[in-house]
Structure 1
Amino acid sequence: MSSVSLDSNKLKNLFGAYYDRRMFRILLLGIISGFPWVLIGSALSLWLKEEGLSRSTIGWAGLIFGVYAINFLWAPIIDRLKLPFLTNKIGHRKSIIIFMQTIILISLIIWSTLEPTQNLALIIGVGLAIAISSATQDITIDALRIEQINKEETSSMAAGAAMAVVGWWTGFKLGGFICLEIAERLELSGVENYWQITFIFLMAIIVLSNIGLSFIPESNKERFQNMANLDKSSSNIGSLINASYLFAAVGALCILIGQIFGKVWFTNGGYTFIVIAFLFYVFSFYTKKYGDNNVISQSFFYLNNVVANPLSSFFKNNGVKIGIAILAFVFLFKIGEAFLGRMSLVFYKEIGFSKGDIAIFSKALGWITTIIFTLIGGAIAMRSGIVKTLIIAGIAMAATNILFSVLAWAGPSKGLFAIAVILDDLAAAFATVAFVAFISLMVDRSFTATQYALLASVGTAGRTLLASSSGAMVDGLGGNWGLFFIITALMVIPSLICLMLIKGKLNIPDKS
């Protein structure tokens, strides 16, 4: 009996943070975030396919997902936007989420009245509206999740990161199951426009989610007061000049990255920042000459407060050198995983696995292990601390990548395939939880939405820019998959060096 009690206490100590009521709120937020992907991913694709549209058309429709990659552009506005009546009544973050959910509801109603063969452009346009609403609410959902937990509660932040990931997968996978099950049952029942009717049923999930959202507490007074104080102190000529230097530095960095990786849009974005920097610098002299009591000066002060302050506060809080090292770590940490992920299905097919093998081991098994290992990863992060877990996760990701080298040399062994996928999911889950918790702790609570969106986008940019050359690397190695996976294992080293150099200087406790 005492042994059972001891084991129970160990489990409670390991997973106890998950019983905090805040974790169930974060789980709900994750579900709300994941569910729209069912609509614009699974449902829209299958609907168009079953209406006889071509694979090419369906593929082009997938471009609407691009808005998720650029939602950081309007994150500064979302951090400040106050909706009439709703913000004062239910809270700043929740009011924006409910407003976006309302747009998604209206979009489903519109979808339920349309025929793809006759209204394709309108259907995809409505899908874009859903994607923009979803990407916008994600900015706010991440901020509300972070603000549920005090900054010094690093263990709870790790648990919250795990629950957010589990919630997202639950919204996507369980929501997808409900969606497809309803559509199939309606089709088998002889309902002609079964997809349109399915969209009506799915509205119930959104309504129920919003009812649950209303019970999540939110406090904005301190954040808005801090923001107002900072705005007041930044409404001067010196702040405009500092903003011009900041934008010039960001522009130069974007141009450099664009040139290195051959990304024209990145280079053009850099030139845009240079132009903005020039305008800020020029109009600082305008303000000096004509004063600040005019529309032009006030407009530049507003832009400075909305766009430059969130960026400058990050470097003020961490220092320029530490801030750059943090950004370098975020940019580089998961590139090895991205290289592997980009080429994994090609690798599985080339060494002889069937689509059925891939479906079982990589997809169905992968989803189950992701949920389980995410919770375990959060528990380990709580006990070991965020930084130590990141180091362990980095080493684990490298080790599992080497397992794929072994698989490449051994040939299509199902047993080895299963082991490689399970351990890779374990390492990826640890990395994701620790990574999300890390960038959550790095944000200034006065600019939660903006800074989190920016840091997340830096991580996405690293994986997108660098992993795009993964196929070329395999070709350059003459199809040597074993050597390719060893190289991807080594890719984590630069990020871990960055982390080791700054781990004692970060403004977060290692454990709490």
Structure 2
Amino acid sequence: MSDADRAAASGQRGPWAAVRPYLEKESLAAFFVGVSSGFPYAMIGATLTTRLAQEGIDKKTVTAFTLAFLVYNLKVFWAWIVDGVRIPVLGRLGQRVSWLLVAGAAVIAAVVNLALVDPSASIQATVVAALLVGIAGATYDIVIDAYRIETLKPYQLGVGSGMSQYGWRIGSAAAGALALVVAARLGWSAAYVACAAFALPAMLTGLIVGEPARHVVAGEKRGLAAVRKAIVGPFAEFMRRSGAWLVLAFILVHKIGDTLANLTFRLLFNDLGYTNDEIAVYDVAFGFWAFLVGIFFGGILYTKLGLKRSVLLALVLMCVSNLSFAVLAAAGHSNWGLAAAIGFENFASGYGGVVVVAYFSALCNLQFTAAQYALISAAASVLGRVLTGTTAGGVIQAMGYVDFYLLTTLLALPGILLFWFMMRRGMIDSALGTAGFRN
């Protein structure tokens, strides 16, 4: 966001001026595509963890399923296709809209396929089905992120990121809650089939709102040399910026502790004896509202503090939030304790989601939106997901939950220190891309 845009945003006065940015067409579009972006994550995340735990699958196998999320980290290798390959027939609707329709249909098919497998009968078939959901969901994410960034104007990145986070959380929480409720009554297969409908909002948004105004048309990629250039070009452009290596290092390490903690919460809840209804009320419902409050304060503090200080505060809050689960693990089964831990963690995540996503969006060059945001979003969680899938279950069994969550708190400190260093050296501003200042 340029200085002029920041001034315009911060200079607004009155209640209607505060609400109006959230009701603009671009912000509403960011919300609805966010709904569809969030639900595949829930299908192979907390929901699948609960399903496997209730099937009696051991902890090491359950946590190994988080490796399905690594597909999201590999999406960078095919993001160039979304930028440059035109879909026959549907392509006349526009590059982004046509890909929204194709990727959305793929997600629906993959979720229905996961609904049809039986983990207790074949864990291998469940792994394959989860990976297919991951691949389809990651592709959908590529398109949705590019559509959101190119639809939003620079001054809308903060509000638009907040609306996207609202949508993501609603899609994830609603799908997760619906799955728990339906599974308790009709079984897990019916639950997953019902949740497949959450792919539709982004598809309909693309058809109604149309192709993004800021989309930079790229030529179709033909021949091996052109494909190689299409893959390498976005990353080469990013790495030529001043301070790019440190920015990339920050992206890699800033969320290790948070990711490691978040992907193991349902194991803690299961071992503490919480029922599905208790998880639905406190983790899903109460956490949902705490997340929305965090997003609200994220939008306010992003305007008041600016990008750099608001991101630094987010990193500190996300670090401290892990401590609350160490306290819960030590206290044992307590609904009040669960509400407090979930409330603080979701507030921190909601606030951080607004300011960190706005920062990552501003790092993109509009010529390579899909590929560069895929790189950034994939790098942001890859280390945490690898550690969770390969070691988390064993570490929890060896150390216990209390020491495990204390460890995740310590792992969040390098990201805080690195971002503070980049602030002091002026590297935050020097590494921004055209999405941060070009209308």
Q: State the TM-score, normalizing by the size of structure 2.
A: 0.75
Deviation at 1:342, TM superposition (A): 6.3
2:419 paired with 1:426: no
- The DSSP-based 3-state class of the residue aligned with 2:209 is coil
- The DSSP-based 3-state class of the residue aligned with 2:208 is coil
Distance 1:474 1:169, change over 3 A: same
Tell me the amino acid that sits aligned with residue 136 of structure 1: T
Distance 1:389 1:410, change over 3 A: same
2:233 paired with 1:213: no
Note the alpha carbon deviations across 1:39-91, whole angstroms, 9 max, x for none: 556777888899xx762698477764442232212112222111111112x11
Q: 2:178, 2:401 → 1: CA distance?
A: 45
Q: 2:407, 2:318 → 1: CA distance?
A: 14
Distance 1:209 1:417, change over 3 A: closer
2:236 aligned partner: 312
Query: 2:33–2:205: 8 Å Cα contact kept in structure 1?
Result: no
Q: 1:222, 1:428 → 2: CA distance?
A: 29
Tell me the amino acid that sits aligned with residue 312 of structure 1: A
Match of 1:223 among 180, 191, 216: 216
Distance 1:99 1:380, change over 3 A: same
1:134 aligned partner: 137
2:172 aligned partner: 172
Q: 2:38, 2:401 → 1: CA distance?
A: 39
Q: 2:268, 2:412 → 1: CA distance?
A: 16
- Matched pairs, number: 417
Q: Mind listing any 5+ residue stretches in structure 1 that lack a counterpart?
A: 1-7, 188-193, 232-297
Tell me the amino acid that sits aligned with residue 386 of structure 1: L
Match of 2:97 among 77, 94, 108: 94
Query: 1:91–1:220: 8 Å Cα contact kept in structure 2?
Result: no
Deviation at 1:159, TM superposition (A): 1.5
Distance 1:312 1:411, change over 3 A: same
Larger deviation, residues 402-411 vs 66-75: 402-411
2:35 paired with 1:31: yes
2:379 aligned partner: 458
Tell me the amino acid that sits aligned with residue 391 of structure 1: L
Note the alpha carbon deviations across 1:280-303, whole angstroms, 9 max, x for none: xxxxxxxxxxxxxxxxxx845313
Deviation at 1:499, TM superposition (A): 3.6
2:274 paired with 1:355: yes
Q: 1:108, 1:399 → 2: CA distance?
A: 35
2:317 aligned partner: 396
Query: 2:37–2:168: 8 Å Cα contact kept in structure 1?
Result: yes
Distance 1:202 1:354, change over 3 A: closer
Query: 1:377–1:429: 8 Å Cα contact kept in structure 2?
Result: yes
- The DSSP-based 3-state class of the residue aligned with 1:385 is helix
- Map 1:291-440 → 2, pairs under 5 A: 299-316=223-240, 318-319=241-242, 322-338=243-259, 340-341=261-262, 355=274, 359=279, 364-400=285-321, 419=340, 421-440=342-361
Match of 1:505 among 420, 430, 433: 430
Q: Mind listing any 5+ residue stretches in structure 2 that lack a counterpart?
A: 1-11
Tell me the amino acid that sits aligned with residue 208 of structure 2: F
2:416 paired with 1:495: no
Q: State the TM-score, normalizing by the size of structure 1.
A: 0.65
- Map 1:464-503 → 2, pairs under 5 A: 464=385, 484=407, 487-488=410-411, 490-491=413-414, 492-501=416-425, 502-503=427-428
Q: 1:202, 1:407 → 2: CA distance?
A: 30
Larger deviation, residues 92-101 vs 371-380: 371-380
Q: Report percent identity of matched pairs.
A: 22
Q: 2:71, 2:30 → 1: CA distance?
A: 23
- Map 1:130-209 → 2, pairs under 5 A: 130-150=133-153, 152-153=154-155, 156-179=156-179, 181=181, 187=186, 206=199
Note the alpha carbon deviations across 1:429-476, whole angstroms, 9 max, x for none: 222221111111101111111110111122112434567778869979
Q: 2:125, 2:267 → 1: CA distance?
A: 35
Tell me the amino acid that sits aligned with residue 355 of structure 1: Y
Q: 1:369, 1:400 → 2: CA distance?
A: 13
2:64 paired with 1:71: no
Distance 1:324 1:200, change over 3 A: closer
Distance 1:337 1:201, change over 3 A: closer
Query: 2:101–2:203: 8 Å Cα contact kept in structure 1?
Result: yes
Tell me the amino acid that sits aligned with residue 381 of structure 1: Y
Distance 1:418 1:128, change over 3 A: closer
Tell me the amino acid that sits aligned with residue 17 of structure 1: P
2:362 paired with 1:446: no
Q: 1:132, 1:465 → 2: CA distance?
A: 17
Q: 1:199, 1:413 → 2: CA distance?
A: 30
